[in-house]
């Protein structure tokens, strides 16, 4: 199972789960259906070097709403705030050992409800994107 998501300094934007590995087609669906509808003019979407992120059709979808893409340099997860959330989310999920996608989805919703917005701000600050 794969989980795709995005965060801001105040909330989790969109999360999508899928059975199996994420590929460029699944990532494009996530961007167009889950993320782009929640973006705003001036938003910055930080993406690492996962091959699915490098598809040429992705940036124009994001830029069409007035947002922009910031591509991280290779091997730089320390500059990606969502890596901190992934770590926390995975630790939370491991406590329950979910075996079905429905259970994973339920647990992710619970984790999002339990999310402390201050953690999001701290992760962005830790990655040098904004002050506390």
CA dist 27 and 4 (Å) reads 8
- Phi, psi values for residue 59, rounded to 5°: -55, -45
* Dist. CA 79–CA 72, nearest whole Å: 7
* pLDDT tens figures, 60-111: 999 999 999 999 888 788 888 999 999 999 999 999 999 898 999 999 999 9
Q: Tell me, what's the pLDDT at 50?
A: 86
Q: Pick from 40, 38, 17: which is nearest to 107 by CA?
A: 17
pLDDT on residue 14: 85
Q: What are phi and psi of 96, to 5 degrees?
A: -110, -10
Domains of the chain by start residue, with CATH: 2-127 (3.30.420.10)
- Give pLDDT tens digits for 38-58: 999 999 999 988 888 889 999
Alpha-carbon gap, residue 65 to 59, rounded angstroms: 11
Please state which of the ranges 27-31, 53-57, 110-114 shows the lowest mean pLDDT.
Answer: 53-57
């Amino acid at each position: 199972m794969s989980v795709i998501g995005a965060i801001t300094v105040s909330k989790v934007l969109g999360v999508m789960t899928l059975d199996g590995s994420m590929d460029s087609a699944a990532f494009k669906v996530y961007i167009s259906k889950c993320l782009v509808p929640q973006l705003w003019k001036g938003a910055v979407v930080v993406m690492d070097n996962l091959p699915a992120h490098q598809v040429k059709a992705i940036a124009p979808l994001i830029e069409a709403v007035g947002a922009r893409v910031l591509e991280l340099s290779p091997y730089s997860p320390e500059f990606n705030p969502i890596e901190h959330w992934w770590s926390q989310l995975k630790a939370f999920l491991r406590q329950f050992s979910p075996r079905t996608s429905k259970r994973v989805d339920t647990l992710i919703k619970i984790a999002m409800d339990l999310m402390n917005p201050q953690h999001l701000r701290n992760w962005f600050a830790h990655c040098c994107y904004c002050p506390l």
